Each structure stands twice: as structure tokens, then as C-alpha cells.
């Protein structure tokens, strides 16, 4: 509960509207009591037009109007809470460190942002706030019955424990089952979201049947959890019905006895019967509140877990100035969890040159770039550019001074223009866009599209080939205009001609500046002035490409028979 209220505090509750909702509901209860008493008078035979009928109609109309206003305010409250919670959780998600996404299933966050947050907002408005309103209504109704006869009020109160006990038992049963339903739903959502964007992979490996079975199994687990929950819910409902019937009989018998003894009038007996049933309805709602509270605990835990994660502090440290000088990894240690990767790593990347990092898969090439980009922090050691330690700089300002193009060439579901300008914090006109897209040989293709730069790229850039996406990513990187350019196999999906064009554009842009890139093919490696060879987290060779070629078998194997002839 501490973490839950901490979450609400961070989200900021719409207290004005919540108080308004409670006030409207309280007013509705008071007006409802008047309407019930006029109804009792009519059932007792009093049909005085101005004394009973007109007041009854007025109370009923006012009650309906207040109920409508109360419902509107309640819906507004829930929508505002939904919005505020989603803002807080999304802000947390985008500020979480890169390692969080490596250890989690990011697409399950869809369920956290939708189903779980809706469950929490429903809990606040339709459980916590409604429980306060119900408590007030129950106290008011007991007070009204007590105004007829105190003994009658006490006798009615003694009917309540059975209803409360059944609600507590039902809540315990439903908590685990509903939480399992939500978890299975999140697994199913994650699976579908992941696979709908991978049609090419599924079809090229003829994996339709396998994927049908995979999602089928998740659907089955969700179905089984849902059925178990449905069984418990529907078996509990008859118990509620039986208890309600028993209470109904007792209310009639008790009220009849007090009326027969002359303790209450006929009008009061009819009103008592209505009030007692209202109390039972409110108490039945309390059992529902308890059940909802228990079933919402899973959603609350999952969302609270995300919010409780430690943020990546983007602004801690000094502002980075203009970088200049060699990139230096100094006695660096880094591990993935329990598995060490770098131990006392020492490496210098020369300033003003193009440096290729090569090595077999798993040797630490990409991790080297991720550390430089400050996506990870080392356990010990230092990373410097010139004399400036990156670890003493704010991550935000450090990243602004570096351009990093990944192999995935990530595209957002928007227009070509929006993707090219993503993260570019300066005005860029069409003339500059034309120049940079032409330099990577993608402008002609864009010009052929009816909507040009306003063409939608599709989910994950699905309307473009892998090579085209890499060209767009390279163009986006060039628009950032930094002195240090990092590339992780950023041209791997291109043909030889396109690679040459992109590298020519990068070379022109980065002339006299520093380029550091991961490469696995001859054509790309030969663009380098300097080469670093890595193996199992260690630098086994480094130097000008001509020198390393003479001493390193892996580089000679990679370059092949053509040698250093470019």
C-alpha cells in the first residue's frame, strides 16, 4: 500500500473533481432518502397530490439529474486518473536505463500502460471513492432507521456479519485467479505484438504452424485462467443470492414484528424495508470492493514495480563541451550481470580518423560503442575523449555530442520527414534534406513517392527494405552533425554500390573528424584508416590497417585474397 500511495502521489490525483464526485453522490443519497419516504407514504395509501405526489416527483427528478451529473464527474475523474498515471508510467519508462530493456520483455509494457492502469483508475474511483460514499450512505440510512426505533436499528445491524465474511472469502479466492488472467493476457498481448511485425521471418522460415502453436498455447493458457476465474465467480454468485434471500426474509419478519407491536407505523415499516434493502445493496457493493481490491493488487504491484525502478539520471554531471582528441578506454571493467566481458580493457581510438572494430560475434564490439554512448556505465575504469572523462559528464549532454547509428536502423511509425528529423534539435529545410538524402542515394526513391517526405514509413519502417532503412538512418545521423560518428554495422543491409555512396557521404561529412564503426565485411573494413581487433572482450591487435594486416590473421581472413587493394 505504501508503494501504491506513492504512485498516486507522483501521478497527482484530480482532488477537486474527486471531492465534487463525493459531494454529488452524498447529495444524491440525501435526496434519495426523501424520495423513499414519499414512496413509503404512497404504498401506505397516502396519495395526497400536493403533500406526497408532487414532492415525490420533484425528488425523483432531482435525484435523476444529480445521478447524471455524478456519473459524468465520476467518468471524468477516472479519465483524468488514467491520463495522469499513464503520463507518470511513460515518463518512467523512457527514463529507465538501457539495461532495463535488456532484462525485460518490453512489449509486455503495452499491457502495463493499458490494462493495468485502467484497473488502477477503476480501483480508485469505483472502489476507494465509492467505498467512502457507501459508508456515508450506510451511516445515514442507519440513522434514519434509528429515528424510527433504536432497537430496530441495532437488530438490522446484527444481520451484517455474514455478508461481510462471504465478501472477504470471495476476495481471497478471486485475487489469485484474476491476477493470473491479467498476466496471461499480458503474455498473449506481448506475443501477438511481437509476431505481427515479423511476418517476413515467419514466412521465410515456414514457421506458420510453429507460430500458430505458440500463440495457440498462450491463448489456451489465457482461456484456462479465464475459465477458472469464471467458475469461481459464478459459484460465488449463488451464495450471494441465497444470503440476500435470507436477509430479505429476516427484514420482512423483523419489520412486521415491530409494526405489529406498534413500535413503528405502516409508513415507517415500508420505508424501513426499502432502507434495509439499500443497506444490503451497499454492503454487497463492499464485498465487490474487497474483491476488486484484491484482484487489482497484481496490476498495482506490476505498475508500482516499474515506477520504483531507478531512473537513468540524464542531467547529473557537468555539461559536455565540444569534444576533441582521442577516444580512450582506460583500465575498463564491465560485466553483463554475473558474466564479465571486459577486464582491465585499455584501448585508444585515434582522433580524426576512421576506425573499424572487428572480431567474431560476442567479442564485445557493440558493447564498446554502447559504453561510449553511455548506454551502460563501466564497473571501474574511465572513458575519455581527449582529456575529458565522459563519466563526469551528464549523459544527455554527452549523447548530444555523439552520433550513434545502430544496425537495426529503427524507424518510428510516422512520415519520412519525421523519421529523418527525429532528435534533430534545429531547423532543417527541404534543401538540406535533399542534400543529405541524395548523398546516401535515397532521394530519387523518395521523389518517386506521391507524398515525398510526407510518406508514412509503416510500422518499424515496413514499407522500406532493410537497405533503404539503413540509408535513412545514415541520413538522420548526418543531420545531427557531430564530431564523433559511431556506426554499428550500419550499412550491412546495403548493396556494394550503396555502401560506397554512404561511406563517401560519411567520409566527406567527417573529414578531419572521428568515425568509429563495427564491421564484418571486406568492403566496409577497407574504409578504415585504423583497425581494432577484439576477441572475447580483449583487444588482441590495433593500429593502422596496413600494420594490423601484416600481423593479424583474422583481418587477413576477413579482407581475403584482394588484400588492401581498395
User: From the CB of residue 60, how many other CB atoms can be counted at a distance below 10 Å?
Assistant: 16
pLDDT of 463 reads 84
Lowest-confidence region among 148-162, 195-209, 456-470: 195-209
Q: Would you say 129 and 293 are in contact if contact means Cβ atoms under 8 Å apart?
A: no
| 128 within some domain | yes
Residue 445 CA to residue 291 CA, distance in Å, equals 59
Its sign, for the CA torsion 130, 132, 135, 136, is negative
368 and 499 inside one domain: yes
Q: pLDDT tier at 357 (50, 70, 90 boundaries)?
A: very high
| 319 within some domain | no
Instruction: Tell me the HSE value of 49 on the side-chain side, using a 13 A CA sphere.
Output: 0
Asked if the model's pLDDT at residue 536 lies above 60, the reply is yes
391 and 460 inside one domain: yes
| 564 within some domain | no
**327-336 and 380-385 beta bridge pairing:** antiparallel
Average pLDDT over residues 144-157: 84
- The phi, psi pair for 206, rounded to 5°, reads 50, 45
228 and 357 inside one domain: no
Q: pLDDT tier at 270 (50, 70, 90 boundaries)?
A: confident
Looking at every residue in the chain, the average pLDDT score rounds to: 85
327 forms beta bridges with: 349, 385
| 281 within some domain | yes
Element (H, E) at 107: none
CATH number for the domain spanning 161: value is 1.20.1560.10
Residue 292 CA to residue 171 CA, distance in Å, equals 7
Q: Would you say 541 and 551 are in contact if contact means Cβ atoms under 8 Å apart?
A: yes
Residues 6+ apart with CB under 8 A from 385: 323, 324, 325, 326, 327, 328, 484
520 and 452 inside one domain: yes
DSSP label at residue 373: T
**514-518 and 354-359 beta bridge pairing:** parallel
Quote the domain boundaries for residue 517. 327-559
Q: pLDDT tier at 566 (50, 70, 90 boundaries)?
A: low
SS3 state of residue 532? strand
Q: Judge if pTM exceeds 0.75.
A: no
Q: Write b or e for each residue in 154-180: b if 16 or more Cβ atoms lie within 10 A of its Cβ, otherwise e.
A: ebbeebeeebeebbeebbebbbbbbbb
Cα–Cα distance list, 262 to 93, 147, 149, 248, 312 (Å): 67, 15, 11, 21, 74
Average pLDDT over residues 386-404: 91
382 forms beta bridges with: 330
For the chain, percent of residues with pLDDT exceeding 70: 92
Picking from 538, 520, 539, 542, the residue whose alpha carbon sits closest to that of residue 529 is 542
Picking from 546, 549, 559, 550, the residue whose alpha carbon sits closest to that of residue 520 is 559
| 260 within some domain | yes
Q: Write b or e for each residue in 461-483: b if 16 or more Cβ atoms lie within 10 A of its Cβ, otherwise e.
A: beebeebbbbbbbbbbbbbbebb
Give the residue ranges of DSSP H helices in 350-429: 365-372, 395-400, 416-420
Last residue of a domain, one of 308, 337, 354: 308
The model's pLDDT over 42-82, given as tens digits with 9 standing for 90+, comes to: 887 887 888 888 988 998 899 899 989 998 999 999 999 99
Lowest-confidence region among 7-16, 184-193, 397-406, 512-521: 184-193
265 and 344 inside one domain: no
DSSP label at residue 101: H
Average pLDDT over residues 499-512: 87
Last residue of a domain, one of 308, 335, 360: 308
SS3 state of residue 544? strand
Average pLDDT over residues 323-330: 94
Average pLDDT over residues 309-317: 87
Element (H, E) at 144: helix 130-148
Last residue of a domain, one of 308, 339, 373: 308
Q: Would you say 531 and 358 are in contact if contact means Cβ atoms under 8 Å apart?
A: yes
Q: pLDDT tier at 539 (50, 70, 90 boundaries)?
A: very high
CATH number for the domain spanning 429: value is 3.40.50.300
Q: Would you say 323 and 369 are in contact if contact means Cβ atoms under 8 Å apart?
A: no
23 and 105 inside one domain: yes
299 and 338 inside one domain: no
Q: At what angle do helices 130-148 and 150-157 cross, to 10 degrees?
A: 140
Asked if the model's pLDDT at residue 290 lies above 60, the reply is yes
pLDDT of 281 reads 78
Q: Write b or e for each residue in 68-103: b if 16 or more Cβ atoms lie within 10 A of its Cβ, otherwise e.
A: ebbeebbeebbebbbebbbebbeebbeebbeebeee
One-character DSSP codes across 329-360: EEEEEEEETTEEEEEEEEEEEPTTSEEEEEES
| SS3 assignment for 182-250 | HHHHHHHHHHHHHHHCCHHHHHHCCCHHHHHHHHHHHHHHHHHHHHHHHHHHHHHHHHHHHHHHHHHHH
| Tally of structural domains, the chain | 2
Residue 71 CA to residue 434 CA, distance in Å, equals 55
280 and 332 inside one domain: no
333 and 297 inside one domain: no
Spacing of C-alpha 319 from chain mean position: 30
Spacing of C-alpha 172 from chain mean position: 28
79 and 220 inside one domain: yes
The distance in angstroms from the start CA to the end CA of the chain is 66
Asked if the model's pLDDT at residue 182 lies above 80, the reply is no
Residues 6+ apart with CB under 8 A from 184: 218, 221, 222, 225, 226
Average pLDDT over residues 11-20: 88
The model's pLDDT over 212-263, given as tens digits with 9 standing for 90+, comes to: 888 888 899 899 988 988 887 777 767 767 776 777 777 778 878 888 888 8
| 315 within some domain | no
262 and 352 inside one domain: no
SS3 state of residue 423? coil
243 and 139 inside one domain: yes
Asked if the model's pLDDT at residue 200 lies above 60, the reply is no
| 113 within some domain | yes
DSSP label at residue 412: -
Amino acid at each position: 500500500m505504501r508503494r501504491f500511495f506513492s504512485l498516486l502521489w507522483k501521478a497527482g490525483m484530480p482532488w477537486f473533481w474527486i471531492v465534487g464526485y463525493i459531494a454529488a453522490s452524498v447529495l444524491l443519497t440525501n435526496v434519495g432518502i426523501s424520495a423513499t419516504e414519499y414512496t413509503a407514504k404512497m404504498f401506505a395509501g397516502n396519495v395526497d397530490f400536493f403533500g406526497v405526489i408532487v414532492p415525490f416527483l420533484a425528488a425523483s427528478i432531482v435525484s435523476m439529474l444529480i445521478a447524471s451529473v455524478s456519473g459524468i464527474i465520476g467518468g471524468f475523474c477516472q479519465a483524468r486518473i488514467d491520463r495522469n498515471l499513464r503520463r507518470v508510467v511513460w515518463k518512467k519508462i523512457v527514463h529507465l536505463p538501457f539495461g532495463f530493456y535488456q532484462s525485460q520483455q518490453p512489449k509486455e509494457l503495452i499491457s502495463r500502460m493499458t490494462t493495468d492502469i485502467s484497473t488502477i483508475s477503476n480501483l480508485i474511483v469505483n472502489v476507494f471513492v465509492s467505498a467512502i460514499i457507501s459508508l456515508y450512505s450506510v451511516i445515514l440510512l442507519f440513522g434514519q432507521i434509528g429515528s424510527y426505533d433504536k432497537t430496530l436499528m441495532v437488530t438490522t445491524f446484527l444481520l451484517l456479519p455474514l455478508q461481510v465474511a462471504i465478501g472477504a472469502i470471495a476476495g481471497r479466492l478471486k485475487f489469485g485467479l484474476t491476477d493470473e488472467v491479467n498476466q496471461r493476457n499480458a503474455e498473449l498481448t506481448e506475443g501477438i505484438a511481437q509476431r505481427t511485425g515479423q511476418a517476413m521471418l515467419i514466412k521465410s522460415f515456414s514457421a506458420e504452424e510453429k507460430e500458430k502453436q505458440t500463440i495457440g498455447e498462450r491463448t489456451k493458457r489465457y482461456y484456462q485462467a479465464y475459465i477458472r476465474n469464471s467458475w469461481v465467480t459464478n459459484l460465488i454468485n449463488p451464495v450471494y443470492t441465497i444470503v440476500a434471500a435470507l436477509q430479505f426474509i429476516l427484514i420482512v419478519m423483523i419489520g412486521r414484528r415491530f409494526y405489529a407491536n406498534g413500535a413503528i407505523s405502516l409508513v415507517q415499516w415500508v420505508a424501513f424495508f426499502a432502507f434495509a434493502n439499500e443497506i444490503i445493496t451497499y454492503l454487497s457493493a463492499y464485498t465487490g470492493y474487497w474483491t476488486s481490491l484484491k484482484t487489482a493488487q497484481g496490476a498495482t504491484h506490476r505498475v508500482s514495480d516499474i515506477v520504483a525502478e531507478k531512473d537513468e539520471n540524464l542531467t547529473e554531471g557537468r555539461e559536455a563541451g565540444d569534444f576533441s582528441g582521442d577516444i580512450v578506454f582506460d583500465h575498463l571493467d564491465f560485466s553483463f550481470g554475473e558474466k564479465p566481458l571486459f577486464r582491465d580493457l585499455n584501448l585508444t581510438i585515434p582522433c580524426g580518423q576512421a576506425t573499424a572494430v572487428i572480431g567474431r560475434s560476442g567479442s564485445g564490439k557493440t558493447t564498446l560503442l554502447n559504453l561510449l554512448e553511455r548506454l551502460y556505465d563501466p564497473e571501474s575504469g574511465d572513458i575519455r575523449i581527449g582529456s575529458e572523462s565522459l563519466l563526469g559528464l551528464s549523459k544527455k549532454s554527452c549523447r548530444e555530442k555523439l552520433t550513434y547509428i545502430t544496425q537495426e536502423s529503427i524507424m518510428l511509425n510516422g512520415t519520412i520527414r519525421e523519421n529523418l528529423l527525429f532528435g534533430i534539435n534545429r531547423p532543417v529545410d527541404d534543401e538540406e534534406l535533399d542534400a543529405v538524402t541524395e548523398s546516401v542515394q535515397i532521394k530519387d526513391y523518395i521523389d518517386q513517392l506521391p507524398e515525398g517526405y510526407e510518406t508514412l514509413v509503416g510500422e518499424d519502417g515496413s514499407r522500406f527494405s532493410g537497405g533503404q532503412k539503413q540509408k535513412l538512418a545514415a541520413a538522420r545521423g548526418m543531420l545531427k552533425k557531430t564530431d564523433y560518428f559511431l556506426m554499428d554495422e550500419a550499412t550491412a543491409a546495403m548493396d556494394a554500390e550503396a555502401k560506397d555512396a554512404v561511406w563517401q557521404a560519411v567520409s566527406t561529412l567527417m573529414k578531419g573528424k572521428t568515425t568509429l564503426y563495427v564491421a564484418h565485411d571486406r568492403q566496409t573494413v577497407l574504409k578504415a584508416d585504423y583497425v581494432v581487433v577484439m576477441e572475447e572482450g580483449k583487444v588482441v591487435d590495433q593500429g593502422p590497417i596496413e600494420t594490423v594486416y601484416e600481423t593479424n590473421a583474422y583481418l587477413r581472413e576477413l579482407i581475403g585474397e584482394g588484400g588492401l587493394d581498395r
